[in-house]
Amino acid sequence: MRNFGLGKKSLEQWVTKEATCLCAAFADQAGRPFSPKVLLNKAVSNAIASLIFGCRFEYNDPRFLKLLDLLEDGLKEESGFLREVREGDDEEPLPSELLKAGQLPAVLNVIPVLLNIPGLAAKVFPAQKALIALLNELADEHRRTWDPAQPPRDLTDAFLDEVEKAKGNPESSFNDKNLCLVMADLLSGGSATTSITLAWALLLMILHPDVQRKPSLEAGGWGVGRVQQEIDEVIGQVRLPEMEDQAHMPFTMAVIHEVQRFGDIIPLGVPHMTSRDIEVQGFLIPKGTTLVTNLSSVLKDETFWKKPFCFHPEHFLDSQGHFVKQAAFVPFSAGRRSCLGEPLARMELFLFFTCLLQRFSFSVPAGQPRPSDHGAYGLLITPAPYELCAVPR
């Protein structure tokens, strides 16, 4: 991932191109109220697709729409898989009790060895099975145009190069099955998280117009706000944003970081497992123990953040208005097993957010109630459904 494109100019160009397509889709709404969720998901998924396949899909491409549907259904399957345990009694339910309730996914969570029963996983997680089948189809198409004598066009080419090198080595993890699993992991793990964060960003912009823009002295008018003012001063209205602009945009950077902190979309992180016995603060954690990291306890720590339960971009600014990194900012988890896609996610959040705020002013549709800033709980914390108006600047 690092060698192929993460953090490099070639990938930035893909994301910038996709941001332009996203802005065009927003412009098509002609200022009418709409939910940005689907368009944001299409744009972010396309950025991942560019990394994997070296091309983007049109937003109305039937196969792309099928891919997005399967990703969403797979997330729902996984969400139900985990929620049965989270929302149960204090004690973990017995497998027999779950079976009586018809919650086979939860049984598999309690006894994962059952997944070895032939055909069982496919019946319980049909969307995930269908997703792998579709990715196999896309990988086969890619393989037909792959030339090992040429530099890799994308991550799939790079993986196929390694598969070729590993031929005859049964211990290698570079094989066709793992290629599709890597594709699935990147698409499912990288698209929903970033698109949901962007949905939080736009929601918080319409709830906090003083952050996006501020009322002018003229009655009924709007002046340029702090994010848009910074965009206009550093980038202007002609050229597209670039990653180098971050260094000159402390308030915009503070807003993006505060969106991630406040949104807190993965409060319990991703489960990990200890590779050896280890002692932490006097507690012995044996090898093979599953660990769940309470990221929310850090992102909402009342002893660290001035206003932990409010949207407050000043958390990331010093008294001179300079951007400040905070030790308690851990939305990507921490340590050697922190999020692999963090550099791409940071790139997408900055480029998509600044492109949208450069082109549009966002507001609550006239006559609609003010949306809530309380999230809907699932595998990921998503904003409650809302609509906005995107008015060209």
Using CA atoms, how far apart are residues 296 and 105, in angstroms rounded to an integer?
A: 26
Task: Return the residue matching tokens 């709007």.
Answer: 222
Task: Return the residue matching tokens 């393989």.
Answer: 143
Instruction: Report the candidate in 323, 160, 164, 318 with the shortest Cα–Cα distance to residue 256.
Output: 323
Using CA atoms, how far apart are residues 232 and 210, in angstroms rounded to an integer?
A: 16
User: 279 forms bridges with which residues in the sheet?
Assistant: 284
User: Is 389 part of any known ligand binding site?
Assistant: no
Task: Return the residue matching tokens 């002295």.
Answer: 217
Count the helix, strand and coil residues of the chain and give each as a percent rounded to the nearest 5.
55, 5, 40
24 is written with which tokens? 């065009």
Contact (Cβ atoms closer than 8 angstroms) between residue 360 and residue 26: yes
Torsion angle (degrees, nearest 10) of CA 337, 338, 344, 346: -170
Q: What letter would DSSP give residue 323?
A: B
Using CA atoms, how far apart are residues 15 and 343, in angstroms rounded to an integer?
A: 12
| Stretch (H or E) spanning 212 | helix 209-212
- Contacts of 217-220 with C-beta under 8 Å, sequence gap 24+, read none
DSSP-derived pairing of the beta strands 283-285 and 375-376? unpaired
Instruction: Report the candidate in 361, 383, 369, 353 with the shortest Cα–Cα distance to residue 209.
Output: 361
108 is written with which tokens? 């598999």
Task: Return the residue matching tokens 């598999």.
Answer: 108
C-alpha neighbours within 13 Å on the C-beta side of residue 345: 22
Contact (Cβ atoms closer than 8 angstroms) between residue 171 and residue 353: no
**DSSP alpha helices (H): ranges in 303-341?**
none
Going through 64-214 in order, the beta strands assigned E by DSSP cover none
User: Which residues make up each annotated binding site for heme?
Assistant: 339
User: Which residues make up each annotated binding site?
Assistant: 339
